[in-house]
Structure 1
Amino acid sequence: MYGSNLSWPASLSCEFHKTSAGGTALAEVQHSGPLRVQKLFHDRDLAHCYVLHPPGGMVSGDDLHCRFHVHPDARILVTTPAAGKLYRSRSNESLQIAATTVQVDDGGICAYLPQDTIVFNGSNGKLETNVSLSSSASYFGWEHTIFGRSAGALPFVSGQLSQCLTISRDHKLLYRDRLQIDAEVLNSGSGLCGMTSLASCILILPAEAQGSDELVETCRLSLKGFEGISGVTAIRDGLISIRLLSSLSEDTRTALERLWSAVGEFLMARKVETPRIWRT
């Protein structure tokens, strides 16, 4: 609950195990504060986990920590039922922090696909994701950030957002991506060029995986028709980075769904379903 510093910390820890029937179960969950999970939904051997944050947004001093452990050969998609929100910070400029830790063991597959985060004018956010993979694990994750609210003529003209993604494999650093965005960077020609919808995606395949070159082309084809700026880059074998930049958040959402269909089919060796919560 709120203390003297008006913060509202919360934490969530989930353990996903492969079942004897070949599916995935939520074997253990611990939580404190306003973070919960619903029961799992299932797309055959791929389970869908919905993370709920009932307040719906974060104010100054809020501190959310989520941890997801995907045990050997378990397969999980983690998402949220609605957009997250970072509201205007108080005058003391205290941070709004959301930190996520993902561990994927051998043979495990994790898709971490939260819905978008809306960064309101004057917010002071810090988003951190740390992913630890075993050698034969696979991971696909994204962060879709929207700056300001165009529908209400509420542009992002002050505040800042720090985003950091760190990925390691077998305890060795594999990839790190850090973004520091304020109104100046948002509108700079060397920044986001005034476009307010930014999605950063990363795909990590096992080192011995075959077909990563073909997957790069498949990802590019899935983004055909996206009217913003997009790029799909194979940084090294089994590591693919994807960026989307647009002035229309709905276009970015649609492109991300198509991207998940393409990547999911590769990871699962079959067509995958879109989480039902994305349609509500």
Structure 2
Amino acid sequence: MGAQYRGALKKCLTPCLRRAIAMNQSGAKTERLNPFKPSPSPCQRQNGEGLAQHSLNDLPQRDRNERVHALFQGAAGKKKVADRDRDPSVKVRSVMLAEQFTDKNKQAEQELNPGSSTTAGARNWRASLTLNLTKESNRTILKQAAHQGPLRVQRPFYPEGAQRPHIYILHPPGGLVCGDEIDINARVEHGAGALFTTPSAGKIYRTDAAGHRQCQTVRLHCADADSLEWLPQENIIYDGADGAQTLQLHTSPASRFIAWEITALGRPAADAPFARGAFTQTTLILRDGAPCFFERVALRGEGPGFKEPWGLQGQQVYGSLLAGYVQDSPQRLLQQCREALQTDAAIAALEAGKDLRWTLTRKDDLIILRALCQQSEPIKRLFMAAWSLLRPTLIGVESHPPRIWAT
């Protein structure tokens, strides 16, 4: 359509549609252009019925443009459209093209959301993201970024130089509802490095009466990588949710990585504790394919795991930071980090004012930091302080917080 009609079409779209509906109303069998009427069913098409009663939106772009153009030409334009619609070859061609267009749309939607369905029983929305980072000419590049559904990344940012990009993982819906699934696979190849984070807190909302579970699975491969850092924002588990979260790290003895997860059960600030529902969190680290660290947390609303000393001790936010593998003197690094955190005035103030509890241990060459609190912010500050202490020794560079954390 010419540019001179675009502005007029925007202003006069409703009158045009009314005029289109009112066209050729002389008889029941007269072909009419009804933009609001759906396309004929497959049975109708097979029997030759309803060929001229297709929807304006189902027509190919050229046919649609000709009809809208004709509406601006008065009676002559209407006659041209009517004559054209009476031509059987034109009607059949338009319907065939419309069917092909619809089939391609359905096929593309199915490829984009393989688990989606239009039936009332299928309410899940599956999303996946596959990333592959490689090193080329002393620069880490995002070689592959394949996504399905509402999950993707922005372009890599390089605030630390070409060797170690920051990757922001975006989930536009902002959270998981009943039946939703997120699957993230990231591989950092030999000599490459990357820091992964999220721009905002993840959320798992209340499930439905049928109890459809919300799941998130993250698989990180860094066997031959220079470094990998998984530092997302906290996850908020709403009251009534039924969530499952899994983090897998596939490593080798020479891998260097830092990963943390922070989980807030309920919303204490909104007086909405996690009183109903369930949440399961699994963390698995494999070294050359063999498990070297496994942890599983299974909680239910108002269950004993919330208040018992072996559980959350009455706290509503917990987190774990894992850093490995320390090649030289892991015990010395552990002691240095512990002393620095204990003498940190900011951390001491958080312990006194917000009831922050933390412990720093190690399992062979793996450093483990755990924390409990009533709010997520003190744990985030504790983990950022520990990250700043561990990163220079473990990865060989000073800490450089992602810019998105400051927004």
The TM-score bracket by the shorter chain reads: over 0.9
Larger radius of gyration: 2
> 8 Å contact 1:23–1:47 — kept in the other structure?
no
Secondary structure of residue in 1 paired with 2:179: coil
**Residue of structure 2 equivalent to 1:64:** 182
**Residue of structure 1 equivalent to 2:385:** 258
How far apart, CA to CA, are the structure 2 residues paired with 1:33 and 1:181?
29
Structure 2 alignment gaps of length 5 or more: 1-112, 343-347
Given candidates 152, 172, 177, the residue that maps to 1:36 is: 152
How far apart, CA to CA, are the structure 2 residues paired with 1:222 and 1:113?
21
Give, in angstroms, the shift of residue 222 of structure 1: 4.7
Cα separation, partners in 2 of 1:223 and 1:94, compared to 1, 3 Å: farther
User: Counterparts in 2 of 1:217-232, with a 5 A limit?
Assistant: 217-224=335-342, 225=348, 226-227=350-351, 228-232=356-360
Per the normalisation by structure 1, the TM-score is: 0.94
Secondary structure of residue in 1 paired with 2:210: coil
Given candidates 367, 372, 378, the residue that maps to 1:245 is: 372
Aligned residues, how many? Answer: 276
1:179 aligned partner, one-letter code = V
- Structure of higher RCO (CA pairs closer than 8 Å, 6+ residues apart): 1
Cα separation, partners in 2 of 1:138 and 1:180, compared to 1, 3 Å: same
> 8 Å contact 2:256–2:395 — kept in the other structure?
no
Give, in angstroms, the shift of residue 55 of structure 1: 0.4
User: Counterparts in 2 of 1:41-190, with a 5 A limit?
Assistant: 41-42=157-158, 43-44=160-161, 45-183=163-301, 184=303, 185-190=305-310
Give, in angstroms, the shift of residue 171 of structure 1: 1.4
How far apart, CA to CA, are the structure 2 residues paired with 1:192 and 1:129?
20
How far apart, CA to CA, are the structure 2 residues paired with 1:213 and 1:23?
33
2:146 aligned partner, one-letter code = Q
Q: CA RMSD in A?
A: 1.5
Per the normalisation by structure 2, the TM-score is: 0.65
Structure 1 alignment gaps of length 5 or more: none
Q: Identify, as 1 or 2, the structure richer in strand.
A: 1
1:59 aligned partner, one-letter code = V
Give, in angstroms, the shift of residue 270 of structure 1: 2.8
> 8 Å contact 1:222–1:255 — kept in the other structure?
no
Q: Identify, as 1 or 2, the structure richer in helix.
A: 2
Kindly, what percent of the aligned residue pairs are identical? 31
> 8 Å contact 1:142–1:201 — kept in the other structure?
yes
> 8 Å contact 1:17–1:74 — kept in the other structure?
yes
